[in-house]
Amino acid sequence: MGNEMKGGVSGMALWAKLRDFLTALPRMRWMRPLAVKLEWGRENVLSIKGRFLGTLRVKGNNNRIDVPPSAQFRGHIFIQGNNINVSVGEHCRLVADIVVKGSNQSVSIGEGTTFASVYLLCIEASHIRIGRWCMFSREIEVRTSDAHSLLDRKTGKRLNPAASVTIGDHVWVGVGSIINKGTTIADDCVVGAKSFVNKPFAESGSLIAGVPAKIIKKDITWHRGRKRKYSPAEMEEWRLPPSDL
């Protein structure tokens, strides 16, 4: 059945439900108790079936968080708004802080993806979609907004509107990189360390780097191993379903 909690109650009934939910968690899977805070709202569903070390904070209605049995998550998830969906794929290993504010938004992370240390900010009616079998290093930010407005002084018009971020399958993002609003990265790409990516890159097999980022080399791929040479079959392993890590 897994560990699933659904909101929609208040007062003593809410705390009783929360107590029962925490009691039902498999104790051996946590280094410390999972902290859950439902500040207000109705019909919120927290489906935490994998290993989760950190906190969940939800403010709003009809929101959902899914962590499947084979996934591991360490960090914090904060939702403020309505109709928000945060989903983690099977076999993910994530160290992350995820912040979603607004309504009708989503953050999805595909199966087999790993984060060493990543901050995701999804606000202003936008979405973040990260594909399967990606590898993100540490001190990385993925954000759909600058969080403040840059204005044209003559017209008062905002020059930096929010925009969704889409990252394809099998993308390696190097340490200290920022993936900014409006970015699209095709499958099987590499983003160099400390790059600032702020536009679409539609060609798969690209090495992307710089501030701002540009294509440095084409027709590349990558592998999690460290051998001197890989066979064609090994270079295509990522296209297969991820094994249980």
Task: Please name each of the domains of the chain with its CATH number.
Answer: 4-239 (2.160.10.10)
Q: What is the pLDDT of residue 57?
A: 92
pLDDT tens, residue by residue, 47-79: 999 999 999 999 999 999 999 999 999 999 999
The proportion of the chain whose per-residue pLDDT surpasses 90, expressed as a percent, equals: 80
CA angle 103, 71, 239 (to 5 degrees): 95
pLDDT tens, residue by residue, 86-96: 999 999 999 99
Q: What is the pLDDT of residue 5?
A: 56
CA distances (Å), origin 16, targets 35, 57, 62, 146, 190: 15, 18, 20, 40, 48
Q: What is the pLDDT of residue 1?
A: 44
> Higher confidence at residue 184 or residue 1?
184
Q: What is the pLDDT of residue 22?
A: 46
This prediction's pTM: 0.84
- Cα–Cα distance between 185 and 165 in angstroms, integer? 9
pLDDT tens, residue by residue, 109-128: 999 999 999 999 999 999 99
* Amino acid identity at 41: G
Helix (H, G, I), strand (E, B) or coil at 101: strand
- Cα–Cα distance between 122 and 125 in angstroms, integer? 8
Q: How confident is the model at residue 26 (pLDDT cuts 50, 70, 90)?
A: very low
Q: What is the pLDDT of residue 10?
A: 44
Q: How confident is the model at residue 9 (pLDDT cuts 50, 70, 90)?
A: very low
The whole-chain average pLDDT of the chain stands at 88
Residue 174 near residue 194 (C-beta atoms within 8 A): yes
pLDDT above 50 for 28:
no
Residue 32 near residue 53 (C-beta atoms within 8 A): yes
* Amino acid identity at 198: N
* Token code pair at residue 232: 């064609």
Task: State mean pLDDT over 213-229.
Answer: 96
Residue 151 near residue 157 (C-beta atoms within 8 A): yes
* Token code pair at residue 80: 């403020």
Q: How confident is the model at residue 241 (pLDDT cuts 50, 70, 90)?
A: confident
Q: Of the given ranges (5-9, 84-88, 222-226), which has the lowest mean pLDDT?
A: 5-9
* Token code pair at residue 233: 């079959």
Return the H-helix or E-strand segment holding 209.
Answer: strand 207-210
CA distances (Å), origin 186, targets 76, 103, 150, 182, 232: 28, 27, 28, 13, 20
Q: Are strands 207-210 and 213-217 parallel, antiparallel or unpaired?
A: antiparallel
* Token code pair at residue 145: 């907004």
pLDDT above 90 for 178:
yes
